[in-house]
Amino acid sequence: MKFSSPFIQKRLFNHFSEELFKYMGIVYTFDKLDHIIDNNKLNVKNLLKQYEDYLKKNHKWLLKDAPRRKDLRVFEAVYHFNLYMYLFKFLSPKNGRVFPEFPTGNGKIDLIINYQNNIYAIEIKSFTDYT
């Protein structure tokens, strides 16, 4: 489904993300995060590495009740919602914002991050390591 109103799209994305991932566990520890974020910029590559570590550590319980395809693989959209919630919870306390695009396969960017007046774009591809 595609919505022309970004407001409606974001509200629906928030709803589905929160519905699937009410509890995210510990999104990050209080280790030094200066390799990921500082007062001026965000290192998206390092942030995604941290997300990957989080997903590896928590995927069994995190994706236990996730909607699945007929071949029992988790729907790609579930990862979109999960990454969105992870980024939202990570960036919100630091005044960062995440804007979703619905995973419709229409070629648009999946997630847009705004942090300290810098814009970062993320295109999500299917995970192959987790079921």
Tens of pLDDT along 63-113?
888 888 899 888 887 888 889 889 988 998 889 999 886 545 556 678 889
Among 2, 1, 12, smallest CA distance to 99 is for 12
Residue 115: DSSP 8-state: E
The pLDDT value given to residue 26:
58
- Structural domain includes residue 33: no
Q: Higher confidence at residue 115 or residue 18? A: 115
- Neighbour count for residue 128 (Cβ, 10 Å): 7
Report the domain count for the chain. 1
- Structural domain includes residue 86: yes
Long-range CB contacts (< 8 A, 24+ apart) of 21-24? 21/62, 21/81, 21/82, 21/85, 24/62, 24/85, 24/86, 24/89
Proportion of the chain above pLDDT 70, given as a percent: 66
- Structural domain includes residue 88: yes
Per the prediction, the chain carries an average pLDDT of: 78
* Per-residue pLDDT at 131 exceeds 50: no
- Structural domain includes residue 66: yes
- Structural domain includes residue 35: no
pLDDT band at 5 (very low <50, low <70, confident <90, very high): low
Q: Higher confidence at residue 130 or residue 118? A: 118
Range of the domain at 97: 6-20+41-122
The model's pTM: 0.72
- What tokens does 46 get? 């390092």
